[in-house]
A and B are shown apart, each in its own frame.
Chain A
Amino acid sequence: MLTEESKPVVNQRIVLREESDDWAILFDPDTSGTYGLNPVAVYIWKCLDGKNTIADIVRKLGKECKDMPDDAVNHVKAFVDELIEKGYAGYGT
């Protein structure tokens, strides 16, 4: 389960394929599965290096984005949870 201390990390098997206008696709070569990411999600994906907690990611995002909603942390957590559920990322330490 994703906790405040978790530092999620991407599954190295998954390919981040950046297309155009900062949008991207996550591609699982073992299943052919694809998952479209918008630029904010791409930014978060790149933060999943096993060194950042969700709070760290939200803080970094706040410096990069304008009009951050108050409940951004919930959105980020839900997104990372979904990646973990799909096997695209792990909990880290």
Chain B
Amino acid sequence: MRDTGHKLTLKAEGLDSCSIMKPIKTPRSVDIEITNDCNLRCKYCYHFTGPGDVREDVPTGEWLSFFEELGRCAVMDVYIEGGEPFFREDLRELIDGVVKNRMRFKLLSNGTLITDEAASYIASTGRCDNVQVSIDGGSPQTHDLSRGKGSFHRAVAGINILRKHQIPVGARVTINRHNVRGLDEIAKFLLDDIGLPAFSTNSAGPMGLCRQNQEEMGLTVEDRQIAMESLLSLNKKYNGRIKAQAGPLADARQWRMMEQARREGRAQLPNCGFLSGCGGVMDKMAVRADGVMTPCTQMSHIELGRINRDDLMEVWQHHPELKRLRERAAIPLSTFEFCKGCEYMHYCTGNCPALAYATLKEDNHPSPDACLKRFLEAGGTIPE
């Protein structure tokens, strides 16, 4: 029996009022690596060394069947990535499948293979939220060092084609040792010269090819310090047009908040003191190019099932590995030897489980890469 209460209330006041603590029935969003192939070999790419990096992509028909299942599950959007999604000749057919099944989409690309015809088609669907193009320098000299000769001009040409067709472009700058001292040049190029509304940043993490090229690409403590200070300053200059959910800018913001909480002697920050660093498994999941479902593109070693063989809703609701990852948030940081004696423990989330796994082969652990205490012990300081 439904309880209407005293008044027949028929709608929520807004989605913000829906605080959903337990997993929803189906994922809202799915990251789909439609191919492992890519025309570039960027030196920090998290691909090409993992268990899903096989050279057998799911054929068109299988993806289309899976998109029908996503439609039945009322998934709202898919993030089409790779490899390089524009490398697939059937990309248009795949996007058709997404659109037909009442979903929106985003594309993640290196930008170099985007043609006028492809952009025209994407724009015609009216369902593309944005195409994220990786730009790692304000000039070929910087960008091409990590992404290959000629890639800068081709990526910028790709951005221009997208903009010509009024497709929202989300530039992503992956901060690495080659570009960390040129962030002002990158910001000027993307925001002033090209005139993008914003761009986002992260950093080359210790996974995939970056692990092999750590010496050349990975950020040192000094590099991270420079990146944090530069990005905070640039973001002020550009009125918040630089975004970050991970990497130096996100760390700088989080660490400043943690330091302030420590100075004020606060008991705890909301949702902190536990392994609560990732909420991704509560509303999204991923599929590798070989059709294996995983919790996240960066946790491709956790195989949850296979598309069109295993039921998506069943996997989403009942797979023990997803359940385990969702329950991470109940594990207190105080139980880890790693966190013993840390005065920031009650203001910390343990950060990204994929990064923890990449470093320690253990995801139920705080990520050493994002640990403020370690950063300070290694000579870093929290930017003002």
**Measuring CB to CB, which residues of chain A are less than 8 angstroms from any residue of chain B?**
13, 15-20, 23, 25, 27, 29-30, 32, 34-41, 43-44, 64-69, 72, 75-76, 78-79, 82
Contacts and interface: CB of A to CB of B under 8 A. Distances in A.
Interface residues of B, number: 33
Interface string B1-32: 11111111111111101101011111010000
A15 B74 contact: yes
Contacts, number: 93
Interface in B31-52: none
Contacts of B126: 30
B104 interface: yes
A89 B89 CA distance: 37
Interface of B: 1-15, 17-18, 20, 22-26, 28, 74, 76, 99, 102-104, 126-127, 129
Nearest to A26: B11
Given A29-B103, A40-B10, A67 B3 contact: yes
Question: What secondary structure prevails in chain A residues at the interface with B?
Answer: mixed
A22 to B, nearest CB: 8
A17 B74 contact: yes
A79 to B, nearest CB: 4
A40 B18 contact: no
Contacts of B9: 38, 40
A78 B13 CA distance: 15
A76 B8 contact: yes
Given A38-B11, A40-B10, A20 B5 contact: no
Contacts of A20: 20, 22-25
Given A36-B15, A36-B17, A41-B10, A19 B24 contact: yes
B24 A27 contact: no
B129 A32 contact: yes
Given A18-B25, A20-B22, A29 B76 contact: yes
A54 to B, nearest CB: 13
A36 B7 contact: no
Contact of B4 (A35, A65, A79): A65
Contacts of A19: 18, 20, 24-25
B8 A75 contact: yes
B127 A36 contact: no
A40 B10 CA distance: 6
Contacts of A69: 4, 6-8
A33 B12 CA distance: 14
Contacts of B10: 37-38, 40-41, 44, 75-76, 78-79
A87 B173 CA distance: 39
Residue among B2, B5, B76 with max Cβ neighbours from chain A (10 Å): B2
13 contacts: A13-B102, A17-B26, A17-B74, A19-B18, A20-B24, A20-B25, A23-B12, A25-B15, A36-B11, A38-B11, A41-B11, A64-B2, A76-B10
Ranked nearest first, the 5 interchain pairs of A and B with the lowest CB-CB distance are A36-B12, A17-B74, A75-B8, A79-B10, A41-B10
A66 B76 CA distance: 33
B279 to A, nearest CB: 15
B12 A65 contact: no
